[in-house]
Structure 1
Amino acid sequence: MKHHTLPVSPKTVHWGYFSKKVEPSLVVKSGDRATIETLTHHANDDYERMIKGDPAAEAIYHWTKEEKTIARRGSGPTEGPFERGSGEGIGVHLMTGPVAVEGAEPGDVLEVRILDVRPRPSGNACYCGRCFGSNAAANWGFQYHDLIEEPKPREVVTIFELDTTGEPFAKAVYNYVWTPQTDPDGIVHPTIDYPGVRVDHSLIKKRENILANVRVPARLHFGTMGLAPSEEDFVSSIPPSYTGGNIDDWRIGKGARMYYPVAVDGAYFSVGDPHAAQGDSELGGTAIETSLTGDFEFILHKKNDLGGTVLEGLEHPMLETDDQWSVYGFTFSNYLAELGANAQIEVAQHSSVDRAMRDAFRKLRRFLMTVHNLSEDEAIALMSVAADFGVTQVVDANWGVHGSIRKNVFRCD
C-alpha cells in the first residue's frame, strides 16, 4: 500500500465535468491510499473568507480581463460567442482528479473508502484558522417559484462559519440577496448561472444577526464523487448517474464506502463539491458549500470476482456504512443513454421524484434478491417493513431517492 498526496492546483482540478479525456492527476494501484484536497465552487460568494491568502484557491479562481486560469467551467462549448462563459456552466463543481486506477476495466467495481474528512481553514490572516462555507437558495432550488415574501423570485446567499473546537457545528454569519454581477469578460449574471463569478460586496447588502439561535450540526461529506462515464467525452457534474457523480447524500463522509461500476479503462475517479452540512433533499439549491480535505483508500474489485459477493450484478453506485447499505435511484438511471445527444440539457426538464422512487425500489429489490437470496415476495415484504426510502436531492436535474436497508435485520440468533 502506498500513500499519495493530491493537492488542489490549476493542474489537478477540472471545473464542472467528469471526463475520460482529462489527463490523470494521479495514478494509484488497488489498495493505495491518497490524501486529496477539494475546493468549493462557491468560494467567491465571499472572497475575503474563502479565497484570499490561500495561494492554491487564488490561482484556481484567478480571472481578470487579461487572464482566466481555468477557462472551461462546464461540459458545454469552449469556443464563443458565449452566453455565460466557456463551458457555459453546464456543470459547476470544482473536481480534483481524475485519479486513474491501474488495471480498472469496464465491468469492474471500484470501492472508495473515506477514511477521514477535515475542513480547509481560511488563508486570510484576518480569519486565521477559521473555516467558512456558503449556502445558496438558488434559481434551481425547489422553492424558487413558491416564495411568499417579496421580492419574488429571489436568490439568497448565506455565509456560515464552521466551529470545530468541539463537536463541529455551523453558525450563520450573514446573508444577502443576489444582485446582478458582471464578470471580468463583461458578461452580466442576473442569477447564479455560472461558477466562480466573484461577488462584488459593494453591490450587495449584508443582513447580519440571522439564524441567531441556530447551530447546524456538521456533516462533513463530498456531494460529488464518482467515475467517468463512457457515453460522452465531457459530462456535466450536475446530474448524477450510473457511475456516481452529484449524488448529494450527507452520509458519504468519514467511514463510508462507496461502490461504483467502472465504465472506462482506469476508472477515472474525481471528487469535489465538499459540504459542511446538508439535509436530505438539499431543497434550496446547495448545502453549506465549503472546502475539505479527505483521506481515501481505493480497492478494485475485478468483474470475474464479483459473483457471490455484495457487488454481484452492481450497475449503479452503492453506499456501505457500518450499519447499512444504500442504493440510489434517479429519475433516469443512466440519463446519458436514455435521453440521447442533448441529454445533459434535457434531463432537467424531466425531473421526477416518482421515477426516482421507482428506480430506487428496483435497485434495492435486485440487491435483496441477488445478494441475500430472497424471493421477490420476501424482498418486497422486507422493504415495506424494514427499508428506509428518502429524498436524496431535488436540485440536481436528475432527482434522487435513496433506499437503505440496515445490516442487523439479517442477523440470526
Structure 2
Amino acid sequence: MRDHICSTGCNHFSHLNDPDLQGEFKEARQSLRAAIGGQPTAGVAGLAGVTERALPSKKAGEQVSHYYVPANNKTIHWGYFSKTMEPLLKLESGDYATIETITHHSNDDIERMVKGDAGAESIFQWDANSKAVDRRGAGAMDDPLGAGGGLGVHVCTGPIYVNGAEPGDVLEVRIVDTMQRPSGNPDYRGKTFGSNVASNWGFHYNNLITEPKGREVITIYEVDASGEQTWAKAVYNYRWTPQTDPFGVVHPIIDYPGVPVDKSSIKPNYDVLKGYEIPVRPHFGMIGVAPVEADMVSSIIPSYSGGNFDNWRMGKGATAFFPVVVPGAMFSVGDPHASQGDAELCGTAIECSLTGLFQFILHKKADLPGTKLYGLDYPLLETESELVVHGFSSPNYLKEFGVDGTSELFKKSSLDSAMTDAFNKTRRFFMDTRNLTEDEAISLISVSVDFGITQVVDGNWGVHAIIKKAVFPK
C-alpha cells in the first residue's frame, strides 16, 4: 500500500458503494428488524449466534468471508479490553463483519431501549438472584459498587482476532455502513432511542450556575430507526435520583454501569428542547485493539491502541488505523452514538445502539515504510478528504502511570499536554511520511491543519489534528 490522493473517479472508497456489500448489509438490516437482538442469519452458526458466509470478492478467483456478530450476553465484554480473552471469532485480512453494538446507557429508559430486544435483555438481565454479565469494568470482582467496580463502562462487542496480525503491524478498519438499532418494544416500532447523561464526570459538573448544584440529568432522544430522517429530537429529561440496584446497593450518583432506573423514582420533564433538531451522525465512540501493557484495562481511557477516544467522525465512510501490539490485534467496538459534538462536554453523547458493517485489512510491518502508516503509534482516522491525528494528555498512560495509576492521570490531564502530543504526532507524520523538513512541517501545520478538542471527559483528554488531503502534491 502506498499513499494515495483521492480524486474524481478514484476507487479508494469504492467499498462504500459495492453492490455485494450493500446487499449483505440490507439483509442484515432486515434480519435485525425482523428479530431484534441478533438472531442468527442464514449460514453456519458459531459462538453465540455468530454466522459466516462467503461474499464474492471483486478479485477473480478470490473470496472473502462475511460474518454477522450479534450483541448478546455471550458476545460482549463489559468495560474492559483484554489481550488474554478468548476471541469471539477469527477472520482473515480482507474479511467483513457486521457487528451489533449496544449502548451501556440502555437502562436509562428500559421501556424504550431494552424491552422486547432479546439481545439487550440478555445483556442487562439483573435481578436479586442473578446478573447475566457480572463483571462491569476492570476493577475487583468484590468491589462494593459491583463486580468490576465500574472501572470501565462500555458494552464492547468482540474481541475479533485477525489471523496473521503481529506486533509492529497496523490494522485498518473500514466502517462501510451503520444503522440505528430499532426499539424492540412494539409501542415504539420504527423508532430508535438514545440517552445523553450530563454526568458527574462531565466538564460542566463543577461549574453549574443554577440550583440544585451537583445534579446529574438524563435526556432521552428519539431517532428515526430507518435512517431516513437526519435529526434527533429530545423526548424528555429527568434528574438522577439515588437508585438501588437489584443486589441492594444504593447508587446516589451514576457510579456503576447498567443500573436499572426505577421509573417511579424520577420526575420526567417533557418540556425540553422543543423545536430543536440535532443532526444525526452515527459513530462508534469506543473502537480499537487490545493494549499489551496489562491483561485487563478499563474501556474508559483512550490511548495509543484506540479505545474510547470519542471522535464523532468515526462513522460511515471512515477508516481507522491502529498499531497492533498483541497477536491477532484483538479488536473490539462499542460505545455507539447517534450524535456528539467535539469535546463531548457533559460526559456523554446521544448514547444509542448501532450496528456497523466493517472490513478488516492487515498491513504488515515490512510494508509500512514509505506509506502514511510508517511509525504509527496512535489511532489514525481517515475520511475521503481528511486524515485525523489523535493526541492525548498521555500518549501511553499505561506505560507512564501503570494500570493502577489512573488517578494520577486524571489529575494531570490537560488540553496543553494533549495539544502538545497532537502537534508532535502531526509534525512527525509530515516529516516521516511526507519527507518534509521540520521547518516545512511547522509552516504547513500552522497554515493548513485544524486542531480541535476531541473529548475532555475520558480521563485522558484528547486533541485531534485534521489534515486536509487536498494540500498534498497531486
Paired position in structure 2 for 1:41: 104
Paired position in structure 2 for 1:110: 171
Distance 1:341 1:281 in 2: 25
> 1:183-222, aligned counterparts within 5 Å?
183-222=245-284
Contact 2:294 2:403 in 1 (8 A): no
> 1:1-400, aligned counterparts within 5 Å?
1-78=64-141, 80=142, 82-163=143-224, 164=226, 166-400=228-462
Higher relative contact order (CA 8 A, sep 6+): 1
Q: Secondary structure at the match of 1:5?
A: strand
Contact 1:319 1:326 in 2 (8 A): yes
Amino acid at match of 2:213: K
| CA distances 1:124-180 after superposition (whole Å, capped 9, x unpaired) | 011112100000000000000000100001100000000356342110000001000
Distance 1:196 1:295 in 2: 26
Distance 1:334 1:175 in 2: 37
Paired position in structure 1 for 2:13: none
| CA distances 1:374-413 after superposition (whole Å, capped 9, x unpaired) | 110110001111000000000000000001110001134x
Q: What is the Cα deviation at residue 354 of structure 1? A: 0.5
Distance 1:15 1:27 in 2: 20
Q: What is the Cα deviation at residue 344 of structure 1? A: 3.5
Q: Secondary structure at the match of 2:206?
A: coil
Q: What is the Cα deviation at residue 334 of structure 1? A: 0.2
Distance 1:166 1:196 in 2: 30
Distance 1:304 1:373 in 2: 19
Distance 2:311 2:407 in 1: 23
Distance 1:165 1:107 in 2: 39
Q: What is the Cα deviation at residue 218 of structure 1? A: 0.3
Amino acid at match of 1:102: N
Q: Secondary structure at the match of 2:265?
A: coil
Q: What is the Cα deviation at residue 341 of structure 1? A: 4.6
Distance 2:155 2:227 in 1: 28
Distance 1:345 1:91 in 2: 14
Distance 1:35 1:314 in 2: 27
Distance 2:75 2:84 in 1: 14
Contact 1:88 1:194 in 2 (8 A): yes
Contact 1:236 1:344 in 2 (8 A): no
Contiguous gaps of at least 5 residues in structure 1: none
Amino acid at match of 2:159: P
Percent identity between the two aligned chains? 60
Amino acid at match of 2:312: W
Q: Secondary structure at the match of 1:202?
A: helix
Paired position in structure 1 for 2:7: none
Amino acid at match of 2:91: V
Q: What is the Cα deviation at residue 238 of structure 1? A: 0.5
| CA distances 1:179-222 after superposition (whole Å, capped 9, x unpaired) | 00000111110111100000001000001121002000001000
| CA distances 1:347-395 after superposition (whole Å, capped 9, x unpaired) | 2222211100000000000111111111101100011110000000000
Q: What is the Cα deviation at residue 233 of structure 1? A: 0.7
Distance 1:145 1:247 in 2: 23
State the TM-score, normalizing by the size of structure 1: 0.98
1:404 counterpart (458, 462, 466): 466
Contact 1:158 1:173 in 2 (8 A): yes
Amino acid at match of 2:420: R
Paired position in structure 1 for 2:45: none
| CA distances 1:318-355 after superposition (whole Å, capped 9, x unpaired) | 00111011110000000000012513443222221110
Q: What is the Cα deviation at residue 14 of structure 1? A: 0.2
State the TM-score, normalizing by the size of structure 2: 0.86
Contact 1:16 1:94 in 2 (8 A): yes
Contact 2:173 2:319 in 1 (8 A): yes
Residue range with higher mean Cα deviation, 369-378 or 131-140: 369-378
Distance 2:415 2:431 in 1: 24
Distance 2:473 2:177 in 1: 29
Contact 2:180 2:227 in 1 (8 A): no
Amino acid at match of 1:378: E
Q: Secondary structure at the match of 1:46?
A: helix
Amino acid at match of 1:315: D
Amino acid at match of 1:90: L
Q: Secondary structure at the match of 1:64?
A: coil
Q: Secondary structure at the match of 2:389?
A: strand
Amino acid at match of 2:400: E
